Amino acid sequence: MADDRMTVAQLRAAMAQFVAEREWDKFHSPKNLSMGLSVEAAELMEHFLWIDNAESRTVGQDPVRRQEVADEMADIACYLLALANTLQIDLSESIANKLLKNARKYPVEQYRGRFKLDN
Amino acid sequence: MADDRMTVAQLRAAMAQFVAEREWDKFHSPKNLSMGLSVEAAELMEHFLWIDNAESRTVGQDPVRRQEVADEMADIACYLLALANTLQIDLSESIANKLLKNARKYPVEQYRGRFKLDN
Amino acid sequence: MADDRMTVAQLRAAMAQFVAEREWDKFHSPKNLSMGLSVEAAELMEHFLWIDNAESRTVGQDPVRRQEVADEMADIACYLLALANTLQIDLSESIANKLLKNARKYPVEQYRGRFKLDN
Amino acid sequence: MADDRMTVAQLRAAMAQFVAEREWDKFHSPKNLSMGLSVEAAELMEHFLWIDNAESRTVGQDPVRRQEVADEMADIACYLLALANTLQIDLSESIANKLLKNARKYPVEQYRGRFKLDN
């Protein structure tokens, strides 16, 4: 897997180069990038719109739909990388912090197998 | 920056462990994860809702709002990593493919400084 | 039901008055209103995030959650009414046109009980 | 304007007939409808993605784009009507309640010309 070798910084650099070559920084305000990301998130969601959770788990087995879903995920990732570049935010550090915060918010003993305490 | 050292696979592994410890795989259908991602994308967007593009560029200068935005970006990243884990999709490869596809779709000569041909 | 008596124009007028009293027209660009509507749509969706389709049908039976869902739907409606006011678009006519267009796109004989032709 | 004559109940009835003719109630769980609404909200937002607030106010002057935007607004309205039908929620009453709640939350004297107290 390319994910095994690729650092987040390398992905950020590839995105930064793509944007710089087209002089698109002027469009890449955080407001616009957050909108673009939300639009791509909706396009991802559309693949799972009318089906049940169970059926959505089988989408990865169909090569065509798998590729379409991977493409939408890449679009989301690109906007996230572009926003990290624009705001100079360290994504890996933010993710590590968030996982720590969520580990405290959802202690294993209380949340094993449930997403809220009364379910 | 942690982004300089961290591979995507390492981030995926951290997310996978978080989910496995809580036995949350049963909630992590692609349908649910795409909805969660879209909800977090909206929460990111909310930070830029009533302001202009220009003002949205200054958000990174306010430490409190910067941290809030970084937190929302981490939430989005976590859902994306979880979905990549569930569907066993190589994010780095998908991003590389998408950048190639977009480079062909938006040739530098035609799209420099513009996001569509007639603007 | 108030829906039996209330015209769309009366709802539009109530929303217009609310906005005018606060001099919020300056914030109500179509760009901002579309973002706000999308944020509220995500808040509605959040109520159904981790549950199955079947369980989501029972939400209306719990008075507290029913009220929360009705509140989110009202938020969405308010943004839609505000956008119709800003752009001076006739919502009822647009809905009638769209239903005609969709009736042609999804003929009853072919789409009865299915949302696409091969399912 | 058709909005002057059309009651919300009449719009709901038109939508209910469209759904019943196709036997689509089985797809119309609140979970699915909230996802569909969010997808359409993103499609609306896409029309205003790369432009400034000021430019977004001019979109209504271009007949083609005006029609496209009206179409997206109708899609959102249709999902909202379908959800109101599924959950048997009185939209007009919910909107009236929400406007009262917001009128208390945003008193005219304090919020005139501002969307939060320190801006």
Average pLDDT for C87-93: 97
At A37, the pLDDT band (50, 70, 90 cuts) reads very high
Is the CB of residue A13 less than 8 Å away from at least one CB of chain B? Answer: no
Q: Decide: residue A42, CB within 10 A, 0-12 exposed, 13-18 middle, 19+ buried.
A: buried
At A117, the pLDDT band (50, 70, 90 cuts) reads confident
ipTM here = 0.97
pLDDT at position D119, please?
Answer: 57
- The backbone torsions φ and ψ at residue B113, rounded to the nearest 5 degrees and listed phi first, read 80, 5
Q: Packing angle between helix C91-105 and helix D8-21, nearest 10 degrees?
A: 10
Angle at alpha carbon of residue C31, lines to A83 and D98, rounded to 5°: 110
Shortest CA distance from C34: residue in chain A: A35
How much is the mean pLDDT over chain B? Answer: 96
Instruction: Find out whether A63 and A14 touch, Cβ atoms under 8 Å.
Output: no
pLDDT at position D118, please?
Answer: 75
Shortest CA distance from C78: residue in chain D: D95
Out of A23, A69, A95, the one facing B87 most closely (by C-beta) is A69
Out of D35, D50, D52, the one facing B35 most closely (by C-beta) is D35
Q: How far is A108 from chain C (nearest CA, A)?
A: 18
Q: How far is A15 from chain C (nearest CA, A)?
A: 25
In the predicted structure, residue A118 carries a pLDDT above the cut 80: no
> Chains A and B: how many Cβ contacts under 8 Å?
258
Q: How far is A111 from chain B (nearest CA, A)?
A: 6
A68-102: per-residue pLDDT in tens? 999 999 999 999 999 999 999 999 999 999 999 99
Considering the entire predicted model, what is its pTM? 0.97
pLDDT at position C71, please?
Answer: 98
- The backbone torsions φ and ψ at residue B116, rounded to the nearest 5 degrees and listed phi first, read -145, 165
Is the CB of residue A118 less than 8 Å away from at least one CB of chain C? Answer: no
pLDDT at position C118, please?
Answer: 75
pLDDT string in tens for chain B (119-residue length): 999 999 999 999 999 999 999 999 999 999 999 999 999 999 999 999 999 999 999 999 999 999 999 999 999 999 999 999 999 999 999 999 999 999 999 999 999 999 988 75
Give the C window 51-80 contacts with A, CB below 8 Å: 52-53
How much is the mean pLDDT over chain D? Answer: 96
Is the CB of residue A45 less than 8 Å away from at least one CB of chain D? Answer: yes
pLDDT at position A110, please?
Answer: 95
